[in-house]
Structure 1
């Protein structure tokens, strides 16, 4: 694309505001053309950054006429998904970060209905899970948030295979260098447990649940009190699934912890919940 054409694209995006919603068809075609992986990386990075800003105020910009939802499948499958694929280099990594930020903006502003997420989740989940292992803290954070958002909206419709593939990378993020990522990962694991409450696939997931209990109890002895508190809340949520199993795991783990305080709080919660039932 010539420099003059690039300038037109950026002027249109920056200054049309709500009018973008009236010229949405042309705008989406521009995005689809300019954001293909074979196009200039710097241009794609700038355009993705602008798109992320627009999506944060979608109803004032690209959805000002209420037409944007009809283009969501194109945006996700033809624009976001190809740019979430891994390629070497700093610019490529920055593009993946802005692309995953755009996807989070779509979910956060509830632009994606449950049926739309179900249609695109199979194409996107591998890239989202991969984003949680990026060098970029923002990518890891957004990846955790997106998985949590998807689980909240339609996680109860996941089968045991999909649920089994979803949590391992989130669990790894409890060891993340960033406190924000660790806490977000904990919230996402809480959402994962909620999907299994009164679910038909709970029994098929028992071995996964047992493994998660064991791993979370290790993190319950984390050196960071905020992480400990967050993991305690995850285990409280998960305790309703197999309380007897969790009690046994706690009794094994408690003697390995530096302090029994959090384990005792968890045991008290399980006992209180049982008595209230």
Structure 2
């Protein structure tokens, strides 16, 4: 984990890329469970979230993949809500990345991260967060990249599980602002 911590310089950037690559490979091993890294899980999620701002696209891409894998390790509801909110907020910034693969992976990672919130999550209590998630996702639902649009649609479905009324409300507001309201209409029909 010390290699994931940000330090200035090209050598340190290469070390961070190598470290996140090793973590990504390790997370693919089926024997890895939350109990193996349970003491470090929150710290690890925080460090990996910090790598979403890296200059190197490979590092950002691997960080997103690691976040997705890490969010599946613990039982839903185990990670602190504020940690998940912070990670999701940083993840949503990657939807505006210069690299299409990073953008698509960020959208695909959203459902995994919000699933870590668990069944006791109160979408009404955290309404402001869900509104922010939905508004941000809806901007990218109208993107020119069809693959990204489809992944964002799936992310909006996941957001709807947090608070359906908020997502529908935001989709209704954004519908007329979109070049093509087709996906907004599809989203609204899904929740009716």
Fold match by TM threshold 0.5: yes
Alignment of structure 1 residues 178-257 onto 2, 5 Å: 178-196=99-117, 198-257=119-178
More helix per residue: 1 or 2? 1
How far the C-alpha of 1:151 sits from its partner, in A, is 0.9
| Distance in 1, Cα, partners of 2:34 & 2:122 | 20
C-alpha contact (below 8 Å) 2:46/2:83 kept by paired residues? no
Q: Are 1:96 and 2:16 counterparts?
A: yes
C-alpha contact (below 8 Å) 2:121/2:162 kept by paired residues? no
Q: 1:108 aligns with which of 11, 16, 28?
A: 28
| Distance in 2, Cα, partners of 1:87 & 1:160 | 28
TM-score with structure 2 length normalisation? Answer: 0.91
How far the C-alpha of 1:250 sits from its partner, in A, is 1.0
TM-score with structure 1 length normalisation? Answer: 0.65
**How many equivalent pairs are there?**
191
- CA gap of 1:240–1:84, structure 2 versus 1, over 3 A, is closer
Larger radius of gyration: 1
| Distance in 2, Cα, partners of 1:255 & 1:110 | 46
Q: Are 1:264 and 2:185 counterparts?
A: yes
| Distance in 2, Cα, partners of 1:105 & 1:264 | 40
- CA gap of 1:141–1:152, structure 2 versus 1, over 3 A, is same
| Distance in 2, Cα, partners of 1:161 & 1:238 | 16
4+ residue segments displaced more than 3 Å: 200-204
| Distance in 2, Cα, partners of 1:189 & 1:159 | 16
- CA gap of 1:266–1:149, structure 2 versus 1, over 3 A, is same
Provide structure 1 residue ranges, at least 5 long, that are not aligned to the other structure.
Answer: 1-80, 272-277
- CA gap of 1:192–1:85, structure 2 versus 1, over 3 A, is closer
How far the C-alpha of 1:84 sits from its partner, in A, is 1.4
Which piece of structure 1 moves more, 239-248 or 253-262? 239-248
C-alpha contact (below 8 Å) 1:131/1:140 kept by paired residues? yes
